[in-house]
Amino acid sequence: MALYLREDFQQAWAGKDAFAEAAALTGETFRHKEGRRTLRFSLGGRRYFLKYHAGIGWGEVLKNLLQARAPVLGARNEYEASLRLAALGVDTLTPAAFGERGINPARRESFLITDDLADSVSLEDYCRDWPTRPPALHERRRLMRVVTGMVRTMHEAGINHRDCYLCHFLLYPDTLAQATIDSDVRCHLIDLHRAQIRDRVPRRWQVKDVAGLAYSAMDIGLSRRDWLRCLRAYAGVPLKTALGRDRAFWLAVKQRAEKLYRKDMKREPPPWL
């Protein structure tokens, strides 16, 4: 069994079974299926998010394996990924409580409670009107550098997200408007429950993350020059070097992103990379 309780939950749950307390929490429910329940709740005048895993069962485990997908067995991945990203200076979830018990992977019980990122907005929503109401040029470029830098840092640390889309980046807009340097911007990477942690991210998982992010940004009005700036920021080398040395990687990203776009949007993607 593993258990972590921050001081606020040590006090709130003193002398109680933390797993029973987590299972009994109620609030605004966002998901409740496949053995996982996600909700926002309040405790002691503060708001939190709960992800509670009751075990997905062997049927769901086998279904995922047959689809060549790694099943999500509990909250540990998200907990460990958030700690590692925070240690690297990447804004992400802040754990307030974590618990895991049980040997059977299909019936393992776990939970993760994080601080609520109140007043933040997903980049999917924030960028939605950019084609008709473009932001200030310096703000757009700063946000592009921040997001691509976050993904680059994540991959260099051996973490891949597996759901790397604009909707999973939560921005505090005021910090972007008032920023004088990139580190002033508060943009949090969330939904890490499918994250994988290794010594090094395999290329196919890098492609998946970068292509997912590119696909989700295809309709926000970025120019070809914007895309090339993102490419350079992610590669961390001059553009000419990145396009030469990593040509096969970026071709794979382009093909995967455009395939996703055609599948979901039922139309050809706009010109981009």
CATH number at residue 157: 1.10.510.10
Q: From edge to edge, which strands make up the β-sheet containing 169-171? A: 121-122, 169-171, 187-189
pLDDT of residue 212: 98
271 occurs within a structural domain: no
Which regions in the chain score pLDDT beneath 70? 56-61, 63-69
pLDDT of residue 34: 75
Alpha-carbon distances, residue 187 vs 60, 104, 247 (angstroms): 33, 36, 29
Rounded CA-CA distance 74/72 in Å is: 6
Q: Which domain holds residue 157?
A: 121-265
pLDDT of residue 23: 96
pLDDT of residue 64: 63
User: Which amino acids are annotated catalytic?
Assistant: 163
pLDDT of residue 29: 96
Side-chain-side CA neighbours of 101 within 13 Å: the count stands at: 9
**Do residues 149 and 193 both lie within one domain?**
yes
**Do residues 127 and 222 both lie within one domain?**
yes
End-of-domain residue from the set 115, 136, 164: 115
What is the residue type of 124? E
Backbone angles phi, psi at 181, to 5 degrees: -135, 160
**Do residues 138 and 193 both lie within one domain?**
yes
**Do residues 111 and 126 both lie within one domain?**
no
pLDDT of residue 35: 80
End-of-domain residue from the set 98, 115, 132: 115
**Do residues 250 and 139 both lie within one domain?**
yes
